[in-house]
Amino acid sequence: MIDESARGTAEMAFGTPAAPLRPYVLDYRGYRLALLRPRRRLEVPTDVVTIALTFEGSMRLADAVDPARPAASFGSVVAGLRRTATIGEHAGQLHGLAVSLTPQGAYRAFGPLAGDLGGQWAEAADVLGPRLRSLSARLAETPTWPARFALLDDWFTARIADGPVWEPSVAWAWHELRRTHGLVPVGTLVEGTGWSRRRLELRFREHLGVAPKQAGTIIRLQHTLTALTRHAASGGPDGPDSERLDGARIAALCGYYDQSHLDRAFRAMVGCSPRAFLVSRRATAGLPEPTDRVAGRVTSAVLGPATPNR
C-alpha cells in the first residue's frame, strides 16, 4: 500500500506469519516513509515484544511519563514489556520492518530476552548479536516485501523449532492474567502455582521482564483502551451526564474503583488522560500509515508538535 499526498509518501506492507508461527509471531509490518515532517508517536504499554529492524534512518525513544529518564537514539531496536508509554520520533525518513512477538514467542526465539530487557529498549544488535545483524542484512538485500516476510517465516521457524519453552506454572499464570484482563489477584496465582510469592515474581521477571502485578496492569490497560476506543467509535450517548455515566461503567468493567481511579492509573502509565489520548487518535485518523502497530490491539497515537494535553 502506497499513499502519496501533501504529507509525503508512505509505503506500507503487512505480512501474516505462517500458520505454525502464529501462537508466537503476531505479524510483520514493512514501511518506507518519506514524510515532509518529523513523526512523533505515543506507544502505550502492551503485552507484545517488538523488534524493529531499520534499513535506513533512526528512531529516538523517550519515556512518556518520566521526563527525567534520558532519551536514546537507535538504529534497530528491541522493546520488551514496558510499564510506561514511549514517545518515538523520527525525522520522517524511515525504511525497515517490525516483528511483533508474543512473550512466549520471544522466549522461544531468543531465550530470556524479555527478562534481560527488564522493560527497557535496547539496540537490537547489542541484545541479539550477529544472528540478528545477519538477518537484517539479508532482509535489506531482499527486493520485495513478500520475499522478506517469507525469509522471516523461515528464520523464525528454525529458531522456534528448538527454542526453550516457558515453565508450565508461568504459562498458567500468564493465561490467568489474560483470561481475567489482568484482574486475578497475585495471591491466587501464588496458590495456583504452589510457589512462594517471591519465586513467582522471580520466574515472571525471567520470562517476561516484569512482575505478575505489573503484567496485570499492562493487560488491564489494554482492556481499558479497547473499551474506551470502542465507546468512542460508537459515538456514545449525548450529554455530559451520560458521558460521566459511561466513564464510570467502563471503569467498573475494567476493574477500577471509579472514573477518577481509571484516570489516575491511565496517566501513570500513558502520561496523559484517556480523553487526550483519544483526541490524538481522532486528529490523525487520516494519516497514510496505520495508527496501531499491532493488529487487534490499541497501541499508539500519532502526536503533533506538542504532547497531548495532560
124: nearest Cα among 115, 112, 136: 136
Q: What is the mean pLDDT of residues 281-301?
A: 80
Please, are residues 101 and 145 in contact by the beta-carbon 8 Å criterion? Answer: no
pLDDT band for position 113 (50/70/90)? confident
pLDDT > 70 in the chain, percent: 90
* Helical (H) or strand (E) element with 43: strand 39-43
pLDDT at 309: 46
pLDDT at 304: 63
120: nearest Cα among 73, 86, 155: 86
pLDDT at 236: 54
Size of the chain in residues = 310
The least confident of 166-180, 247-261, 279-293 is: 279-293
pLDDT at 249: 87
Q: What is the mean pLDDT of residues 64-71?
A: 90
Q: pLDDT tens digits for 138-148?
A: 999 999 999 99
Instruction: Classify residue 168 as exposed, middle or buried by CB count within 10 Å of its CB (0-12, 13-18, 19+).
Output: exposed
Count of CB atoms situated within 10 Å of the CB of 247: 21
Reply yes or no on whether the pLDDT at 244 is more than 50: no
Cell of 209: 521482564
Count of CB atoms situated within 10 Å of the CB of 295: 13
Q: How far are the Cα atoms of 240, 247, 278, 287 from residue 283, in angstroms, in the given order?
A: 21, 21, 9, 9
146 vs 143: CA distance, rounded Å: 9
112 vs 100: CA distance, rounded Å: 16
pLDDT at 285: 66
Q: pLDDT tens digits for 202-230?
A: 999 999 999 999 999 999 999 999 999 88
Adjacency order of strands within the sheet including 49-56: 2-5, 8-15, 25-35, 93-101, 49-56, 77-79, 121-123
pLDDT band for position 235 (50/70/90)? low
Reply yes or no on whether the pLDDT at 238 is more than 50: no
Instruction: Classify residue 210 as exposed, middle or buried by CB count within 10 Å of its CB (0-12, 13-18, 19+).
Output: buried
pLDDT band for position 306 (50/70/90)? very low
Q: pLDDT tens digits for 261-275?
A: 999 999 999 999 999
Cell of 275: 480523553
- For 264, how many CA atoms within 13 A lie in the half-sphere containing its CB? 6
Give Dmax over CA atoms of the chain in angstroms. 60
